[in-house]
Amino acid sequence: MDRTHRGVPFERYADDIVIHCTRMSEAVRIRESLTQRMSEVGLTINEEKSKIVYIDTFERHNVATNFTFLGYDFKVRTLKNSKGELFRKCIPGASMKAMRRMVDTIKHWRIHRSTTDDLRDFSRRYNAVIRGWIEYYGKFWYRNFSYRLWSALQSRLLKWMKSKYRISIRQAEHRLRLVRRENPELFAHWYLLRASNV
């Protein structure tokens, strides 16, 4: 890039790269140049993953408007400022694929079936994973990520409480609320997710 496209900003991690272009013609030219260079060294570009993406607050048709990089979806999102006014801006957020993977992992823990365990067992077993998710994905598009993760974890804990003590969902919610009040740092998402009141 520095030799043939000096001044064009880009990010690279392993074999993934994001190149920032100011015009569509520039993006097409660089893509063709990279395809040719890869061919010269006996490599090919993954056509499915390699694409030109247009990201701006102005709508553009017949071209992709989002991409995924390092587990984040980059696209224009609608946000709200401190005055309650809506505005649009391109920001990253945990990708849909990453969120599905987290939810599937939580389901595979089968917490609600482990009625011989107690909440401290779950805390010791899963807190490191939960903390890692929050520290990596919780930096951007926070509200959506925190709501999805909070809901997935709390629903499993409520099912466990309901199954273990053979009580109604309302009673389970009350018990879990009391436990959280007495031990607010028992689970990582209880004290690391600012949107935990959802």
For 176-186, what is each residue's pLDDT tens digit?
999 999 999 99
Looking at residues 151-156, what average pLDDT do you find?
96
Cα end-to-end span (Å), the chain: 46
Q: Is the pLDDT of residue 197 over 50?
A: no
State the burial class of residue 127 (Cβ atoms within 10 Å of its Cβ: 0-12, 13-18, 19+): middle
CA gap 76, 67 in Å, rounded = 11
**58 or 167: which carries more pLDDT confidence?**
167
- List strands edge to edge, sheet with 66-69: 66-69, 72-80, 86-94
**58 or 190: which carries more pLDDT confidence?**
190
136, containing H or E segment: helix 119-137
Q: Is the pLDDT of residue 23 over 60?
A: yes
- pLDDT at res. 194: 59
112 phi/psi in degrees, rounded to 5: -70, -15
Question: Which pLDDT tens digit goes with each residue over 82-97?
Answer: 888 999 888 899 999 9
pLDDT range class, residue 135, cuts 50, 70, 90: very high
Q: Is 67 helix (H, G, I), strand (E, B) or coil?
A: strand
Query: How many whole angstroms from its chain centre is CA 90?
Result: 15
86-94 and 72-80 strand pairing: antiparallel
78 phi/psi in degrees, rounded to 5: -90, 125
CA gap 94, 140 in Å, rounded = 8
CA gap 88, 147 in Å, rounded = 21
